[in-house]
Structure 1
Amino acid sequence: MNNVTSPSRQGNARTIFNVTSGNFLEMYDFMVFGYYASAIAKTFFPGDDPFASLMLTLMTFGAGFLMRPLGAIILGAYIDRHGRRKGLLLTLGLMAMGTLTIAVMPGYATLGMAAPVLILLGRLLQGFSAGVELGGVSVYLSEIAPEGRKGFFVSWQSGSQQIAVIFAALLGLLLNHLLDKGQVTEWGWRIPFIIGCLIVPFLFWIRRMLEETEAFSQRKHHPTLRQVLRSVVRNWALVLAGMLMVVTTTVSFYMITAFTPTFGKTVLMMSDKQSFFVTLCIGVSNLFWLPVMGALSDRVGRRPLLLLFTLLMIATAWPVLHWLVNAPSFSHLLEAELWLSFLYGSYNGAMVVYLTEVMPADVRATGFSLAYSLATALFGGFTPAICSYLIHATGDKAMPGVWLSIAAVCGLAGTLLIQPLVKQYRARRLAEQAVSWP
């Protein structure tokens, strides 16, 4: 296992790259679906009402997240029993199948109602695999990280997502430069999905080079699915508090990435190129702040950052968007989104590693993945649809800021609740060990 746990900087960088590669594909596919929601709507959900068509597409986008909790439990239990490496290979394969389904599926004009149904199934398969991808990657990184550097290492789980955002945004800019709007709507939107399929063999090759983590290999007991479920049920309050913390991350992330192109084009009336450029800048900003704040959390602790940035998000989310929609411009959109990016990256850089630390070791992948998946399924994944509905229902274009503030309140509550729950869990474990001691 030396090449996995070696303190060598080159070895560490290579291992981080290998393990996060599949996470890149997972987020790339999700971002592409959000970026081309309008074109996908016309292909698979045609109708006389453009808003209704778009909402059906965004709901399909969100439906993929509903499968995440199921994937978290089933695939998370597989990872906790059979190993991090095997589980990460399995999730990559399932994600590739879902992506291929969307890339090659004929439209409504060819297949009728079968087309949107099959697209929905492709999204559900993607969601099932993604339910444990984030958890599996985060746990792997936390278990190979040198002492005192877990925050920095685990931050690259989210960092790989930002590389996917940057890549997808660059591809969007290129397509809008080479093709006219009609061509993108008719067939050009499929190109990013096809590219995603083409890089799958490379991702399989590099992920197969992973070795099992030493922490998992040295554990004598690997729980069965029943034991994993029993442990998760016993620690339901810990999972729920973790879910509240993740709500802040997942809502803010999907708002500033997946929803930004739609918000820029349909609400602020920006051009496609302007919206994609802002999204590109957000990805770069996120990629900078995540490892910086992950490393800072190694020095100052996780909780101070979590408390500070949830409070900042509560205080500034709506005012910033209110300022933007009352003076819409490209520069204002960029400034507003970069501020939200700073808040997201600073919070998430501390949150993800903290969640891997508080989950019980024997069900770490399942507990983390379930908390993450529940938050994404119930809140984050539907953020583009919720934001669009709130704007449509109230007429207030700044309403996404209210939704983001509510998400930040959830994160603040989870941060305050989780520490006493962890103390209760550890006290209970010590009591159980004392009773069973011969």
Structure 2
Amino acid sequence: METNIVSSSTTTLLAAQTTRSKAAAVLRVTSGNFLEQFDFFLFGFYATYISKVFFPTGSEFASLMLTFAVFGAGFLMRPLGAIVLGAYIDEVGRRKGLIVTLSLMASGTILIACVPGYETIGLLAPALVLIGRLLQGFSAGAELGGVSVYLSEMATPGRKGFYTSWQSASQQVAIIVAALLGYALNAWMPTDTLHAWGWRIPFFIGCLIVPFLFLLRRSLQETEAFAARKHHPSAREVFRSMLANWTTVIAGMLLTAMTTTTFYLITVYTPTFGKTVLKLSTADSLIVTLCVGIGNFVWLPIGGAVSDRIGRKPLLLLITVLAILTAYPALSWLAAAPSFGRMFIVLMWFSFFFGAYNGAMVAALTEVMPVEVRVAGFSLAFSLATALFGGFTPAVSTFLIQSLHDKAAPGYWLSFAAVCGLIATLILYRKGGAAQRLQDAA
């Protein structure tokens, strides 16, 4: 009897230790995600200030378009980073590769934070900001893939959706922190000071946390799945395998289009949309953005856990259909009578789209990629979607509103991305498809 009690206690203790160990690993591996998205969000949050400091043209529309173009240029570097750094991570291991991506991300952050304005150094100012964004984009190309694959490989059986959802959940913490900082600065600092240099404060804070993030990531352990593999492909082998699986990569890109478009619409673009299009106060826009970050954080693990229970396909299909049917009508309702309350309701509805869909999508994307090129394949698919859809969402939304004279026009863009996600889901989960075979095996 005593032996059974001791045995039971030991088992419980070991289970608790394993849970704590996995939770610590999740924190370490997602820490770099926090920095990456923190900086990306800041660039979008302070787009109106950045446009006047680095891209003064005399036209608010032109300055914003230039700023969002530079913001989007960082996303064009993601596919290159996905191929080069993704192949590197597949060859040398998840731990070493993720330290490299964090180093590059930190370099871009420090550069953007410290560059003087156009009035001080002329054309060199926007050029250096562009270089900083390109460094961030190159790093981010493999960061998301590396983190997602690491979480997938360390997940307990049957819980991949829940574990991989924390990759995106860490980004929501970055949104919350950035929005809180923005709200505090807007409340405590005079507008002229905020325009002149106050907007740089959050970027400097991002620089200050870099050493702490390095300490966290250096303590990462390599995943057992990678360590157990006898053959680690060279970069050339990774490239060859990706070419052989190009249809899966393209389908993965379309699957991710819904996620990236929704994400950048409800986070990075929200402060600009609320202030310049809906004519709401900066404080209102930042509070809504903060609530969106909290909503995303709640829905992501729920979406992942639900997809573990019912399968990825049903959840992906449900959310894409809902987005197609309601994206434009919801934004039309908001634009008809802009208010804090309406903006909150619409963006929280979109937050549900993002969290539930992405919770299932990330796990699905790690599952469909061949194991030998899992990081490179995931990263390339995600990066292409971000470059072609998500990253340019602020610029596309601004252009559509200006061209169509319709404040709800971003709804067309979101609906199009949802159609892409619907088609990709049907392709990947068709009978005999890679994703369907995985689901059937589970």
TM-score (ref. length: structure 1): 0.95
Paired position in structure 2 for 1:9: 19
The answer to whether the 8 Å contact 2:73/2:134 transfers is yes
Q: 1:209 aligned to 2:225?
A: no
Paired position in structure 1 for 2:389: 379
- Among 180, 204, 226, the alignment partner of 1:194 is 204
1:361 CA displacement:
0.2
Where does structure 1 lack aligned partners over 5 or more consecutive residues?
Answer: 428-438
Q: In the alignment, residue 332 of structure 2 is paired with which amino acid?
A: H
The answer to whether the 8 Å contact 2:430/2:436 transfers is no
Paired position in structure 2 for 1:433: none
Q: 1:263 aligned to 2:273?
A: yes
Matches within 5 A, 1:316-335: 316-335=326-345
Please list the CA deviations of residues 372-431 of structure 1 after superposition, one character each: whole Å capped at 9, or x if unmatched. 00000111100000000100011000000110000000000111111349736999xxxx
Matches within 5 A, 1:100-115: 100-115=110-125
1:50 CA displacement:
1.1
CA RMSD of aligned residues (A): 1.4
SS in 2 for 1:355: helix
Please list the CA deviations of residues 325-375 of structure 1 after superposition, one character each: whole Å capped at 9, or x if unmatched. 001111000000000000111110100011001100000000000000000
1:279 CA displacement:
0.1
The answer to whether the 8 Å contact 1:238/1:422 transfers is no
Paired position in structure 2 for 1:432: none
Q: Distance in 2 between matches of 1:238 and 1:312?
A: 25
Q: 1:235 aligned to 2:245?
A: yes
Q: Tell me: CA distance 1:71–1:422, structure 2 relative to 1, closer, same or farther (3 Å).
A: farther
Q: In the alignment, residue 26 of structure 1 is paired with which amino acid?
A: E
Q: 1:249 aligned to 2:286?
A: no
Q: Distance in 2 between matches of 1:37 and 1:293?
A: 31
Q: Distance in 2 between matches of 1:168 and 1:369?
A: 25
- Give aligned-pair identity as a percent: 61
Q: 1:185 aligned to 2:195?
A: yes
Paired position in structure 2 for 1:273: 283
Q: Distance in 2 between matches of 1:425 and 1:85?
A: 27
Where does structure 2 lack aligned partners over 5 or more consecutive residues?
Answer: 1-14, 438-442
Q: 1:345 aligned to 2:326?
A: no
- How many aligned positions are there? 423
Paired position in structure 1 for 2:415: 405
Paired position in structure 1 for 2:378: 368
Q: Tell me: CA distance 1:51–1:78, structure 2 relative to 1, closer, same or farther (3 Å).
A: same
Paired position in structure 2 for 1:143: 153
SS in 2 for 1:189: helix
Q: In the alignment, residue 226 of structure 1 is paired with which amino acid?
A: R
TM-score (ref. length: structure 2): 0.94
Q: 1:99 aligned to 2:109?
A: yes
Q: Distance in 2 between matches of 1:7 and 1:214?
A: 17
